[in-house]
Amino acid sequence: MTAPPQGLAARATGTGPDDVAAPLTVVTVGTSLTSRGGWQEALERQLSVRLVRPVSVRIVARAGETSLWGCANLEAVVALKPDVVLVEFATNDAALQRRLSLGRSLAAMRTILERLLSLTPRPRVVVMAMNPVSGLRGLVRPRLKAYTAAHRDLARALGAEFLDHRPAWHRLGRAARARAIPDGLHPMAAEAAAIMVPALVEHLGRPQDAH
CATH number, residue 54: 3.40.50.1110
**Residue 39 falls inside a structural domain:** yes
14 within a domain of the structure (yes/no):
no
At 26, give phi and psi (nearest 5°): -110, 120
Is residue 93 assigned to a domain?
yes
- Determine the structural domain holding residue 102 and report its residue range: 24-210
Percent of the chain topping pLDDT 90: 87
pLDDT at 1: 34
Does the pTM surpass 0.75? The reply is yes
Long-range (24+ apart) CB contacts under 8 A made by 167-176 are: 168/195, 168/196, 168/199, 169/131, 169/132, 169/195, 170/132
The number of distinct structural domains making up the chain is 1
- Per-residue pLDDT of 181-196, as tens digits, reads 999 999 999 999 999 9
> Quick check: is 9 in a domain?
no
pLDDT score for 206? 86
- Tens of pLDDT, residue by residue over 131-180, are 999 999 999 999 999 999 999 999 999 999 999 999 999 999 999 999 99
- Is residue 5 assigned to a domain? no
194 within some domain? yes
Is 72 part of a structural domain of the chain? yes
Q: What is the pLDDT of residue 5?
A: 41
pLDDT at 7: 55
Is residue 170 domain-resident? yes
pLDDT of 17 > 70? The answer is: no
